[in-house]
Every structure is written in structure tokens, then in C-alpha cells.
């Protein structure tokens, strides 16, 4: 098959960087495989300083956090000063919404608009702020890139912010964030982006997009594990927004320790909060560095070739359906969403073959990363 050309040699150089799983790993949309550098970094930059320095390890640990922000900035084309570490997307989203909701100019705008296929956790954030901030959630039921559908929804509600999902988890469909964000801005609405399913496997450029804020994590395609999230806040908003959730690491000088004097950090770290976890960011920083060395463009191209190779193998199977349509492969995220006439039978075969996958009703989600190879494609296709 023509799509197999170069795949085998490409993969061999990268498998050794990751701990192998038993069977074929196709779950990078859920949790990326563990890079060996992450374990080494955990010991070198977290455990060893703790053992040797105790409480005096903080300066070293905070250098790691700063390095993490630099690397995230490299991924999304932003300066480190507008990046803030977060536990997850929900924590950053909540902090940002509380900051914009209480501005005087926004008192007549209470609706947060997102697509019906947005990740549920982000909707829960809005619902959770209903009583304290009067926010309400509204869902768009059109296709993700239906500009007219979004425009109709914008005119039907008192919209404060739109949250656009860059890559939808259950379909792998990619949103045209630049066009959607421009639409929101024309209506005077904050344009926000969820990049949980796209960071590390799709091109992200906040300068080109022109969005107000972005929320992401490292647990999926960046192979950084859970607990290392991040948010981006547009530079001209950093000095004007005051989130409700603060703590000593939101302070301009966290080690000042004057309970009567709070001065918000001049960077996006004003959204940070209390004492941070260090270990997740140590591992994630090492993982992101590995991905940057491999090259995000290389990872994207290789993933595209793997998906094309799997599609070729599946096209001969009359019982298979693939979402989105084959012609839209360039508009997909990293995952291939596949259905079958007899889902239960195929699921049994996938499990018996030790394929790591997951199922969402009538769809199997299969995600192939830089460590996957031709043998993995054959193993998956055989189950259909």
C-alpha cells in the first residue's frame, strides 16, 4: 500500500522513547503512553531536590514550572508570560469565567455558548457558576463549523463567551477556530478554545486565531500525564482580569507572606491559585520537550499517514463506517472514529487482540501516535 511507504522506518526510531504497553496502544486521545524521559525527569527534578533540599527545593521546582510555561508557549505560539499552569481545563475555565463575569461591562451578558458535542466537564463548570455568577449554558446543535448556526445562536442569547472545541472527542471533527472566533468577536463576545484533544497533534496558533483565552492539558497527545493543565490569556487582558479563585501563587511575590497585602501577579499566573502540584509539571515538561524535538509537524504528518493506512485497510470491510467522511481526513484531529454493523462482535475481537481502544455508543475511537507502526494497523484492521 502506498501509504505504508516510510511508515516502518519512521516509527522504529521513536518506539524506544516510550514504555511499551501489552498489545496495540490506540488510546492517546485518553491518556498518552508514558515517555521514558518523564520518569527520569521526575527523579531528577522533583524527587532528588526534595530528598536533598527539602523545603529549599522550591526555587528549583519553580524553575521547572517556568520552563513548562515556555514549552507550552512554543506549542501555541505565545509568550510564557501569558501562560498559567492549571490542574486541568475546568479549573482554568472556571477562573477565567469568574473574572470576565464580574466586569461591569458584562453584566447584561450571562450566557456561555458551546457546541452540543463539547466535553461535558466544561458545561458542568458553567452550570456550577449559575448561582454565584448567574451564568447559564446554551448549546449549539448545528454542525461545528456552521457559521450561520452559530450566528443564529449568538443573536438568540445574551452571550458572554463562546467556547469552541478545537477537536471534538467523539467525532474527531476539527473546528475552524479562526473563523468561529472572528464571528464571536464581531458580536463583542469572548472567544475561548478547548484544545484538550488537539494539543500535540494539530497546529495551534493563538496569534493567528486571535482568541481571548485557551484551555488545555498534557494528558493526551502530549503524553504528559494527568494534572498538568494550562491556560492562555490574551496579553491585553492579563492586567485587567481578576479571578475569584486566588492564592499565594497568584501573588506577584508569593513569598511575601503579608496577609493584608495582595497584589495580583502581572503575568497570567494571577489565575494560578494556591500551592501547586510540582510532579505533574516536571513530567509534562519533559514530555513536551520530547514532542518538540520530534517535531509537532512530523507527528501530525505521521499520524495522518497512519490514519490513511488504516482507512485503506478498512475500506475493503463492507461493515465499517468511518467518521468524518474519508474525504475530510485533513479536517480530523488525531483520532479515527470507526463504526461497524455489529459493534459488540468487533468490540470482542478488539479486546481479544489486546487492542487498547474505547467505545462511545456506535463508535470506536482509535488514536495512533508516533510510536505506532504498520503492525498496529494490521492488528486493528483484522478485528473488523
d(CA 182, CA 129): 26
Mean pLDDT confidence for 363-374: 95
Mean pLDDT confidence for 264-290: 93
pLDDT score, position 264? 78
pLDDT score, position 7? 54
d(CA 187, CA 362): 37
pLDDT score, position 320? 77
Q: What is the pLDDT of residues 234-261, one digit of tens each?
A: 999 998 999 887 787 788 777 777 787 8
User: Do residues 71 and 83 touch, judged by C-beta distance below 8 A?
Assistant: no
Pick the CATH number of 40-292 from 3.40.50.2000, 3.30.310.80, 3.30.420.40, 3.40.640.10: 3.40.640.10
d(CA 183, CA 18): 41
User: Do residues 268 and 260 touch, judged by C-beta distance below 8 A?
Assistant: no
For the chain, give the longest Cα–Cα distance: 70
User: Is residue 127 predicted with pLDDT exceeding 90?
Assistant: yes
* 156-160, 215-219, 240-244: least confident range: 240-244
d(CA 302, CA 371): 10
Q: What is the pLDDT of residues 300-334, one digit of tens each?
A: 999 999 999 999 898 877 677 766 544 577 789 99
Q: What is the pLDDT of residues 49-74, one digit of tens each?
A: 999 999 999 999 999 999 999 999 99
Q: What is the pLDDT of residues 187-207, one digit of tens each?
A: 999 999 999 999 999 999 999
Pick the CATH number of 2-34+295-382 from 3.30.390.30, 3.30.230.10, 3.90.1150.10, 2.70.40.10: 3.90.1150.10
Range of 11-15, 86-90, 335-339 with top mean pLDDT? 86-90
Same fold? 2-34+295-382, 40-292? no
pLDDT score, position 12? 58
- The runs of H, that is alpha helices, within the chain are 7-15, 36-42, 48-53, 58-76, 89-101, 120-128, 130-133, 147-156, 177-186, 206-209, 235-238, 279-294, 296-315, 343-352, 374-382
Q: In sequence order, which residues have a C-beta less than 8 Å from that of residue 166 and are 6 or more positions away? A: 174, 175, 177, 193, 194, 195, 197, 198, 202, 204, 333
> pLDDT band at 9, cuts 50/70/90?
low
Q: Which residue has the higher pLDDT, 319 or 155?
A: 155
pLDDT score, position 256? 79
Mean pLDDT confidence for 97-101: 96
Mean pLDDT confidence for 216-222: 98
Domain boundaries, the chain: 2-34+295-382, 40-292
Cα 41 to Cα 45, 166, 167, 299, 324, distances in angstroms: 6, 30, 30, 22, 38
Backbone dihedral region for residue 200 (phi beyond 0: left; psi -120 to 50: alpha; all else: beta): left
Q: Are strands 229-233 and 83-86 parallel, antiparallel or unpaired?
A: antiparallel
Amino acid at each position: 500500500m502506498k501509504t505504508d511507504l516510510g511508515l516502518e522506518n519512521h516509527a522504529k526510531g521513536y518506539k524506544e522513547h516510550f514504555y511499551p504497553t501489552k498489545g496495540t496502544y490506540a488510546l492517546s486521545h485518553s491518556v498518552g503512553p508514558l515517555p521514558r524521559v518523564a520518569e527520569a525527569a521526575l527523579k531528577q527534578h522533583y524527587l532528588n531536590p526534595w530528598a536533598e533540599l527539602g523545603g529549599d527545593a522550591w526555587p528549583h521546582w519553580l524553575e521547572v514550572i517556568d520552563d513548562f510555561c515556555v514549552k507550552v508557549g512554543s506549542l501555541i505560539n505565545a509568550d510564557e508570560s501569558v501562560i498559567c499552569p492549571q490542574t486541568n481545563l475546568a479549573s482554568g475555565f472556571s477562573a477565567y469565567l469568574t473574572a470576565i463575569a464580574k466586569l461591569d461591562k458584562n453584566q447584561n451578558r450571562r450566557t456561555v455558548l458551546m457546541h452540543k458535542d463539547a466535553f461535558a466537564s466544561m458545561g458542568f463548570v458553567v452550570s456550577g457558576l449559575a448561582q454565584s455568577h448567574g451564568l447559564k449554558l446554551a448549546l449549539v446543535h448545528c454542525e461545528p463549523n456552521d457559521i450561520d448556526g452559530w450566528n443564529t445562536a449568538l443573536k438568540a442569547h445574551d452571550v458572554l463567551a463562546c467556547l469552541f472545541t478545537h477537536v471534538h472527542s467523539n467525532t474527531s471533527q476539527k473546528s475552524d477556530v479562526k473563523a468561529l472566533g472572528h464571528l464571536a468577536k464581531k458580536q463583542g463576545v469572548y472567544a475561548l478554545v478547548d484544545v484538550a484533544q488537539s494539543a500535540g497533534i494539530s497546529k495551534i496558533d493563538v496569534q493567528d486565531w486571535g482568541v481571548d483565552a485557551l484551555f488545555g492539558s498534557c494528558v493526551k497527545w502530549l503524553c504528559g500525564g494527568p494534572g498538568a493543565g494550562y491556560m492562555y490569556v490574551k496579553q491585553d487582558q492579563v492586567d485587567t482580569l481578576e479571578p475569584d479563585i486566588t492564592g499565594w501563587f497568584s501573588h506577584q511575590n508569593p513569598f511575601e507572606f503579608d496577609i493584608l497585602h495582595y497584589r495580583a501577579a502581572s503575568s497570567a499566573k494571577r489565575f494560578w491559585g494556591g500551592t501547586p502540584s510540582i510532579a505533574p509539571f516536571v513530567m509534562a515538561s519533559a514530555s513536551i520537550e520530547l514532542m518538540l524535538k520530534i517535531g509537532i509537524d512530523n507527528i501530525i504528518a505521521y499520524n495522518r499517514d497512519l490514519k490513511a493506512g488504516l482507512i485503506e485497510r478498512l475500506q475493503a470491510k463492507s461493515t465499517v463506517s468511518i467518521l468524518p467522511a474519508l474525504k475530510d481526513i485533513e479536517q480530523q484531529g488525531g483520532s479515527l472514529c470507526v463504526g461497524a454493523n455489529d459493534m459488540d462482535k468487533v468490540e470482542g475481537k478488539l479486546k481479544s487482540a489486546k487492542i487498547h481502544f474505547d467505545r462511545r455508543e456506535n463508535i470506536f475511537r482509535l488514536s495512533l501516535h508516533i510510536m505506532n507502526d504498520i503492525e498496529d494497523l494490521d492488528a486493528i484492521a483484522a478485528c473488523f
